[in-house]
Each structure stands twice: as structure tokens, then as C-alpha cells.
């Protein structure tokens, strides 16, 4: 009996093991994903002696299987006997790290890093360093390229006293940096920064001066080698490396050793390299001294903003805010006025929409740097130009950053210059632009005050309740609630509620539904008296609506009202209507009416219309 029970328990494991040999790819994949279960059932010794060798023999399977295997093997460290036996996982991972498929190699390397982190220094030197040497000297570039990613981990793991192994690693890495295949050189260039940091940290433990010397004598020559490679895929990887290396050096050494090479990269013949410089420009600022920034980076950045490739201009434009904020405070305003702003004025009319969109997302950030006077004189005309740009994303980005401008020039100036353009955009045929304007109404209301808002934007804010796009109508109900929270219940009674309740008489049922949604939003900010006197009678009248969707939303609205008003009001004015809806011919109406009459455990969910947010529903 006991033997039968044991066999029953092992049967699923036997199935998983059999599926490792199954002809169906999906079955093998499922079994690979259950390796930890199989290993646990087999035990540590059998996993090491049987399962791992079997898996090593399956390395020639489909790429999808190999990718899953590479990802899963690192989870078996504890199941093969812990760190002491983790080296048995190296063999299959080594084969996977030399695979032709990039994804498989990458996952194998990540698993090898996990295995390395769990090994003792002795086990690491005994098993892991020979692995790196085998990969670094393998016949095919795939193994050599994969080995590059292991060098920073290996160097950081070695004991500080293991000088010979450190020297050997640096020598092997140098050979890879000079490899005949660009794929291997690119792999070496990619990890130059982390390798430099690991080398410096390890040497600094015993001899800080020697650590700097190693960077100057061995690492920087490799950086120059990569930066002047004939392949742009290698050169562009030298830029992040430059940032990491500069962090290890003082400003004078950075100037002497790195600046000339970096200037060459800024004007590289390949747009991909220049793009990477633009992407990393702020990181370079953080590591270069103020003199280098003024002498090299400011001219370099302005050149990137004027680059003949639109991708480079767009990337550089997106960095304007961070670049300007990272400038020395004493000269920031002057540099922006003299060096950045003239180019920004040109970029506003760039032929490429991506460039203009990137610029629109950051141009407002120049206002606090320039101050009120220069912003009004130099930036406001640019904002107006972008507000009227034919590209909707440009207009959207400007609208979304109005708060930064208001903080600088004040609401009076904003209302005189930009409000007319904003009002015009409120009728834009792109619904996302209308949505962006709408979402800024509560903020504008706080800045303008009640009188100016009523005069300039009040009617506009309520007109969005009738928009033909559901997302706009939904956002309008939220906006109205926020406006009432700002201006108060009395303003709501005189301005908002009459307009909202007018929708209950509309012939189109979607408008009547919008009224219900808006009422539900307003319940959060209106007084009990207003709800009882002004809203309940209108909602009760809609319980006779010919459209079932309206009626069941009436039931949900009445339920929410019951959470706001006194119990006596619920019993006398709301409950009878809900009981009538219980007799409705529509099942959904009856369901929601019944739910509304149940004891409330928590407040009912806000109403949602039964169409997707992005669906355009014409009246």
C-alpha cells in the first residue's frame, strides 16, 4: 500500500521527465518550466548526475526551449546541493552562452551571474574563471561576445589579494577589445564602464593610487580604441563608458584624458553615435567639471540641437530642460539666452513633427530660468506658435505644461495672451487636445478666480458635457466636480446645476446618461439639502425613461444619493422609486434596483457608460 502511494506521488514527476523528450515543443517547454519540481523530486545527487547531463545534451533544441532553459537553470543552485555544487550548472549554461540566438545567450549570461554570486571565492576561482577563459578564447564570436558581460562580475568577485587572476582578466579583456569581429568588440565596449568601475574599486581596496594608474594606463586607451572603431555600433557604446570612467577621475584628469575623444564623438559621422551623445548629455554634465561644460559641452549640445538628422535633434530637444538645469547657476540664465534660446526659436518651426513635439514637452521649463520679463518677451510668442501648430501632440504638450508658465508670468498675463488660443483649442477636432484643455480647467479656475473664470471659461467648461466623444464627457463630469469644490455649493446651485439638469430633457439618451454621471460626481461636493431639493426630483422623473440603460443608471444614482441624504429622506423620497423599478420589465434595471435597496457595505462604484472610453458615439 505504501509502495503504491509512493508510485502515485512520483507519477506526475515521471510525466514531466517524459515530456522533456516529447516531440511536441509546447510539452517540452512546459516541462522545462517545471525543472525545479523535477529536481526536487529527484533529489540533489540524481539532479547532478542525471538531470543536468541530460539537459546539457538538449542544448540543440528549439530556441524557445533553450531560452526557457537558460532562464531556469540558475534556480537550481539549491536543488543541486547549494553553492558547493553550483559549478555543475556551468556546463549547460556555457553551451547556452555560445548559442547563435542572442536572446538565449543573454539569458544564459544572466543565469551565470546568479550562479557566480552564490559561489564561494575558492569555488569561483576554481570553476568560474576557467569558464570565462574558455568563452573568451572560443572559436566562434558568440562565445567571445558573451564572455564580455562576465568580466565586471568576475573582477568584483575576486579577492583583492588575487593579483594574478586580476591581471589575467584585464589581459583577456584587452584581447577581446581588439577582436577581429565587431560583435565581440561591441560586447567589450558595452561593459567597459562597469569593468572600469569594478577594476578601480578592487584596486582601491589596497592601493588607491594604483587604481587611478590602472584607469589611465589600461582603461582609457581601450576607451579611445572603442571611440575610434570603424564600426558605429562599437563607437556609440563608448559614450556611456566615458560617463562611468569620468566618475572615477578628477576634473583635470578628465580634461586631459577624455575631453578630446568626447569632442570627436559629438561630431561623429554616424547619426547613431551623435544620438547616443544627445541621450547621455546630462550624464556627461554631471561628471565633467564646469570648465569642460562651458568649453566643450555647451557648443556640443547646441550643435546637436542643430544636427541635420531629425532623430538627433528630437533627442537633444528632449534634454533641454535637464541640460539647462544642470548648468552652473551663476551663468545659467546667460547661457540659455545666448546659446539655447536662439536655436529653440528655430526648432519651433522645425520641419519634423517629432522634433517639435519633443521641444514642446520641455520648452515651458525655460520660463523659470529666464524670469518674467524675458519669458514674456521671448518665450510667449513661441508658446503661441506651438499652440497653433498643426501637429496635435505639439499642442498637447504645451497645454499640459501651462502650470510652469503661470508660476512665472502670473495669471493676468496668461489670460491676456494664451487664453484666447486656449479657447480656440477647446473646439479642436482632435479629441485628445480637447481633453488636455478640459483637464486643466480646475487649475485655471484656481488661478483666474470665480469672476474671470465665469466670464472667460465658464460656459466652455459646461459645453464639454455634450461632446461627441465619451472620454471628453466623462472627464467633463470630473472637471465640473472639481470646479464646484473650488467655487462652492452656491456657485453650483446658480451656475452648474441648472445647466446639468437641462440635460434630463434632451432627446438623445446619451445626454441624459451624462447628466446622471455628472450628478454622481457632484454628490461628493454638494450639501444634503441641495441633493434633496434640487437633484432627487429630477432623477425620480427619469425612472420612467423609455431607455433601460437610463433607468438602471437611475437606480444606481438613487443608491448613491441614499449614501448622502438622511435616512428619512431615503425612506420617503428614494425607496418608493426603487421599489417601482423592482417591477421593471428589464432584468438589469431590476437587478440594480434590488442592489440599491440592500444594506450598504461600501459605496457603490461610480457609474460607467457601456461604451469604450475611446469610442466616438455621435448624437
Closest CA to 199 of 227, 233, 171, 231: 171
Dihedral sign (CA 597, 600, 601, 606): positive
Q: State the pLDDT at residue 411.
A: 74
599's CB contacts (< 8 A; 6+ apart) are: none
Q: State the pLDDT at residue 318.
A: 95
CA-based Rg of the chain, rounded to a whole angstrom? 34
| pLDDT beneath 70, residues of the chain | 1-18, 20-22, 58-61, 599-619
User: For 86-126, how does the pLDDT look when each residue is reduced to its tens digit (9 = 90+)?
Assistant: 888 888 898 888 888 889 999 999 999 988 888 888 888 88
Q: State the pLDDT at residue 320.
A: 95
Q: From CA 221, how far away is CA 189, in angstroms rounded?
A: 12
Cβ atoms within 10 A of the Cβ of 517, count? 25
CATH class of residue range 1-119: mainly alpha
469's CB contacts (< 8 A; 6+ apart) are: 431, 434, 614, 616, 617
Closest CA to 169 of 206, 119, 214, 118: 214
Query: Which value, to the nearest 10 degrees, does the dihedral of the CA atoms of residues 309, 311, 314, 315 take?
Result: -120
Closest CA to 538 of 483, 490, 577: 577
Cβ atoms within 10 A of the Cβ of 330, count? 8
Q: From CA 579, how far away is CA 526, in angstroms rounded?
A: 26
Quick one: cell of 593?
434596483
Measured between alpha carbons, how far apart are the two ends of the chain, in Å?
Answer: 74
Q: State the pLDDT at residue 40.
A: 85
Q: Where are the domains of the chain?
A: 1-119
Amino acid at each position: 500500500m505504501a509502495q503504491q502511494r509512493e508510485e502515485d506521488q512520483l507519477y506526475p514527476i515521471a510525466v514531466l521527465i517524459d515530456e522533456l523528450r516529447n516531440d511536441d515543443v509546447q510539452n517540452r517547454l512546459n516541462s522545462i518550466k517545471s525543472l525545479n519540481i523535477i529536481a526536487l523530486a529527484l533529489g540533489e545527487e540524481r539532479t547532478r548526475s542525471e538531470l543536468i547531463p541530460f539537459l546539457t545534451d538538449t542544448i540543440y533544441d528549439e530556441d524557445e526551449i533553450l531560452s526557457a532553459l537558460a532562464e531556469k537553470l540558475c534556480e537550481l543552485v539549491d536543488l543541486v546541493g547549494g553553492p558547493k555544487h553550483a559549478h555543475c550548472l556551468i556546463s549547460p549554461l556555457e553551451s547556452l552562452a555560445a548559442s547563435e540566438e542572442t536572446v538565449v545567450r543573454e539569458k544564459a549570461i544572466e543565469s551565470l551571474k546568479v550562479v557566480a554570486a552564490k559561489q564561494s571565492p575558492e569555488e569561483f576561482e576554481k570553476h568560474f574563471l576557467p569558464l570565462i577563459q574558455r568563452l573568451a578564447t572560443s572559436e566562434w564570436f558568440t562565445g567571445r561576445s558573451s564572455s564580455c558581460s562576465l568580466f565586471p562580475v568576475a573582477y568584483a568577485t575576486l579577492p583583492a589579494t588575487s593579483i594574478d587572476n586580476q591581471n589575467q582578466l584585464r589581459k583577456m579583456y584587452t584581447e577581446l577589445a581588439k577582436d577581429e569581429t565587431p560583435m565581440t568588440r561591441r560586447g567589450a565596449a558595452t561593459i567597459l564602464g562597469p569593468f572600469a568601475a569594478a577594476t578601480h574599486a578592487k584596486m582601491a581596496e589596497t592601493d588607491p593610487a594604483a587604481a587611478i594608474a590602472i584607469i589611465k594606463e589600461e582603461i582609457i586607451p581601450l576607451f579611445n580604441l572603442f571611440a575610434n572603431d570603424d564600426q558605429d555600433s562599437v563607437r556609440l557604446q563608448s559614450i556611456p563608458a566615458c560617463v562611468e570612467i569620468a566618475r572615477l577621475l578628477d576634473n583635470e584628469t578628465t580634461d586631459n584624458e577624455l575631453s578630446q575623444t568626447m569632442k570627436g564623438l559629438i561630431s561623429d559621422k554616424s547619426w547613431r553615435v551623435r544620438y547616443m551623445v544627445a541621450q547621455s548629455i546630462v550624464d556627461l554634465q554631471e561628471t565633467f567639471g564646469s570648465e569642460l561644460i562651458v568649453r566643450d559641452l555647451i557648443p556640443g549640445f547646441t550643435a546637436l540641437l542643430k544636427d541635420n538628422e531629425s532623430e538627433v535633434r528630437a533627442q537633444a530637444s528632449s534634454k533641454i530642460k535637464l541640460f539647462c538645469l544642470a548648468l552652473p547657476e551663476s551663468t545659467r540664465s546667460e547661457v540659455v539666452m545666448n546659446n539655447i534660446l536662439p536655436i529653440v526659436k528655430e526648432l519651433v518651426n522645425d520641419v519634423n513633427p517629432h522634433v517639435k513635439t519633443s521641444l514642446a514637452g520641455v520648452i515651458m521649463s525655460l520660463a523659470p530660468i529666464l524670469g518674467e520679463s524675458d519669458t514674456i518677451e521671448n518665450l510667449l510668442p513661441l508658446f503661441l506658435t506651438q499652440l497653433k501648430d498643426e501637429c496635435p501632440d505639439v499642442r498637447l504638450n504645451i497645454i499640459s505644461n501651462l502650470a510652469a508658465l503661470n508660476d512665472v508670468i502670473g495669471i493676468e498675463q496668461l489670460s491676456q495672451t494664451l487664453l484666447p488660443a486656449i479657447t480656440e483649442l477647446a473646439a479642436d477636432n482632435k479629441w485628445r487636445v480637447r481633453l488636455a484643455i478640459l483637464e486643466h480647467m480646475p487649475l485655471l479656475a484656481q488661478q483666474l478666480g470665480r469672476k474671470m473664470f465665469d466670464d472667460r471659461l465658464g460656459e466652455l467648461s459646461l459645453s464639454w458635457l455634450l461632446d461627441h466623444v465619451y472620454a471628453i464627457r466623462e472627464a467633463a463630469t470630473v472637471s465640473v466636480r472639481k470646479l464646484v469644490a473650488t467655487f462652492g455649493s452656491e456657485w453650483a446651485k446658480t451656475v452648474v446645476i441648472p445647466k446639468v439638469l437641462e440635460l434630463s430633457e434632451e432627446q438623445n439618451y446619451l445626454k441624459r446618461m451624462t447628466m446622471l454621471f455628472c450628478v454622481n460626481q457632484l454628490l461628493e461636493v454638494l450639501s444634503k439639502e441641495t441633493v434633496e431639493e434640487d437633484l432627487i426630483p429630477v432623477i425620480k422623473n427619469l425612472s420612467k425613461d423609455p431607455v433601460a440603460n437610463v433607468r438602471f443608471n437611475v437606480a444606481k444614482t438613487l443608491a448613491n444619493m441614499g449614501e448622502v441624504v438622511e435616512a428619512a429622506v431615503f425612506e420617503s423620497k428614494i425607496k418608493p422609486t426603487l421599489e417601482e423599478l423592482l417591477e421593471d420589465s428589464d432584468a438589469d434595471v431590476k437587478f440594480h434596483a434590488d442592489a440599491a435597496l440592500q444594506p450598504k457595505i461600501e459605496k457603490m462604484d461610480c457609474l460607467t457608460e457601456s461604451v469604450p472610453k475611446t469610442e466616438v458615439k455621435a448624437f
